[in-house]
Chain A
Amino acid sequence: MCSAQINDNFNDNSLNSSIWSTLTPSPGTSFTVSETNQRLEVTLGSGFGGAGIVSVAQFSGDFDVQVDYTLLNWPTANSHSVRLGAPDLGAGPGGGIGINRSSFPNGGTGEFFLLSLPTGDPQVATTQAQLSGKLQLVRSGTTMCGFTMIGATWALVGSGPISTTSTRISLDLGAGSSSAQGGISAAFDNFRTNSGTLVCPTTTTNEYAISIANNGDQNSGSLTHNTIVGNIITASKTVQLGCVPRSLDRTQDNAYEYIACTSPANGDKIIALRTSDDTAVFQLAIAAPTFVLVRPNDTQLFVGQGNGHVTTIDISKRADGSRKNVVLPKRTITLSPGNLVTSLAFVPGGGTLIVVPTPALPSTTMWWVTCPRSSLHTRVLMV
């Protein structure tokens, strides 16, 4: 999800993931980034590093954005900067492109605003007493301007050439020295887009195709799990089954595939394959399974069999996410022997299972069977 509008007052105390994502700091950085107290608060531990958030969408051309900041714990000359940045536009001598409220001991500048550009870092001095304010970053054509609000008026910190490349917008707190002290914290609030066109990133969806195949004999077959991105198979894994797969069906959460598999030499069985790693996590010996159907409520597996039975397996979830995989002993539906069950369908809401057997030709009789939630005995009523 991506929002093509970025205006956020951070008042709901939960970072809006359609607008923002959390920046990934360099390894070893100690930090907290939290939308709390109806604002975004960022705290850094000691040493070099930075943390904050970045927009999901990008500005494709001109833009004008602004944000309020408050310096929550801000000792003099603490070697940190609060930044309204454009992280996809590179860096200059003043660091990543953006408008900063900085505090450094070097150069005698102390407390200052700095616009970091690729070829320069114009600065405007301020004072330690100035612990809150506003930052504004404006790109117009190939020119970037940085402003801060002094009194009720926007004051230009600087301007200069900039790339027209699309860019996300970041709000972050960074330390520019390996000896920077820890515990520095700042808050952002009332981010606003005054102008600009946002473009959401193109998302890539992985598709997972699981196929079962027989090898032409009675005792072997395979399952192939292909990961597909667009028109390319990016990963492929084949699992030998040691039996002939007849049918498969998937749980609603896509976590497991249940496979009906037969083998005179190795035994007939139902296999539960975990799709995350293609591991067979469960095998149940069951005679001549021919068709499997996961009940739409994801709690039962119906197994059609070559002996005319339909066995019900409890596949409801355990607390750890695994499945129970227990045969419900009194829930076997018994049709006439000799009816090989070739297909099953569930009538939603009606608790009725449609059973399609294949008896001796020339005719097929489909059966409608009630499928209650609990029962005491196996029983079939003929009509």
Chain B
Amino acid sequence: MVGNLPALIASHQSFNGVAAVGLSPDSTKTYVFLNAPAYDLDASGNVLLAGNVHIMNTATLSVLSTLNCSPNPITAALLVKKRYFYVTQSDGTLCTVDTTTDLVVNSSAPGGFLAAEDIAGKRLFIADQQDNVVETVTLGKTGPTSDQQGVSFGGLPANSTVVGLSVFSK
């Protein structure tokens, strides 16, 4: 029963390191977040503009389009509200990609070296390696452009570097 075995069914090569990968809410599109902008080819072989977010057709794995967040390395990406990818970057940028339009719809600067993120309710928590804190962003009611920078939480061990974050509420 070959169909029941783990089987490699496809591959895709990128000329820059992949920092994160995610799927649109309906899984029809795959979002690849790169360490640095890279060119790619679409299904017809046309060269797409260099971008550090490559959007692929999940079924065919052809690249549909490319986007650019800040050119500095992407560190993590998280799908929020079943619509927006919040993308953290090493230069302290928080870039937001709308999966309905495949556009960068917001870019804010919590600052530091943003390394990881998670969400609880209406608050996005972001690990800042540079300042050894967890930043928060309160999600706006009218979309990412109404997001508001929240408080920063310390309480992390001194002389350590936060590398991962998991947040939940109850």
Query: Measuring CB to CB, which residues of chain A are less than 8 angstroms from any residue of chain B?
Result: 205-216, 221-222, 224, 226, 228, 231, 233, 236, 238, 245-250, 254, 257, 259, 331-333, 335, 342-343, 345, 347-350, 352, 354, 356, 358, 361-383
Contacts and interface: CB of A to CB of B under 8 A. Distances in A.
Contacts of A358: 17-18
Nearest to A233: B155
20 contacts: A210-B166, A210-B167, A211-B162, A211-B164, A212-B165, A214-B163, A215-B157, A224-B157, A228-B153, A247-B164, A250-B168, A254-B170, A335-B8, A345-B22, A365-B14, A366-B21, A368-B61, A369-B8, A374-B4, A383-B11
A118 to B, nearest CB: 39
B17 A206 contact: no
B45 interface: no
Given A214-B160, A224-B155, A375 B4 contact: yes
A226 B164 CA distance: 14
B6 A333 contact: yes
Contacts of A210: 165-167
Contacts of B47: none
Nearest to A378: B6
Contacts of B30: 347, 354
B128 to A, nearest CB: 11
A272 B112 CA distance: 30
Nearest to B125: A209
Contact of A257 (B6, B10, B156, B166): B166
A363 B36 CA distance: 12
B117 to A, nearest CB: 11
Given A212-B165, A216-B160, A332-B6, 14 more contacts: A209-B167, A211-B134, A214-B160, A215-B157, A224-B155, A226-B134, A226-B155, A248-B166, A257-B166, A345-B23, A354-B21, A366-B12, A366-B32, A376-B1
Contacts, number: 191
A104 B18 CA distance: 80
Given A210-B167, A228-B153, A376 B4 contact: yes
Main secondary structure of the interface of A (DSSP, over half): strand
Contacts of B17: 342, 358, 361, 364
Contacts of A380: 6-8
A245 B162 CA distance: 9
Contact of B23 (A247, A348, A361, A381): A348
Nearest to B22: A345
Contacts of A212: 162-165
A228 to B, nearest CB: 7
Interface in B1-40: 1-23, 27, 30, 32
A22 B58 CA distance: 52
B161 interface: yes
A208 B127 CA distance: 14
Nearest to A260: B164
Nearest to A235: B155
Nearest to B127: A211
A68 to B, nearest CB: 38
Interface in B115-166: 116, 118, 120-121, 123, 125, 127, 134, 150-151, 153-157, 159-166
B15 A363 contact: yes
Given A363-B13, A372-B3, A206 B170 contact: yes
B61 to A, nearest CB: 7
Nearest to A362: B15
A367 B6 contact: no
Given A233-B155, A366-B32, A211 B7 contact: no
- Select the residue from B4, B121, B125 with max chain A CB neighbours within 10 A: B4
A364 B17 CA distance: 6
- Enumerate the 5 nearest inter-chain pairs by beta-carbon distance, A residue then B residue, closest first: A213-B160, A368-B10, A212-B164, A381-B7, A379-B5
A257 to B, nearest CB: 6
B101 interface: no
Nearest to A226: B155
A286 B157 CA distance: 27
A215 B160 contact: yes
Given A333-B6, A350-B27, A207 B11 contact: no
Contacts of A245: 163-164
B6 A372 contact: yes
Given A207-B121, A209-B125, A368 B8 contact: yes
Contacts of B23: 345, 347-348
Nearest to B167: A209
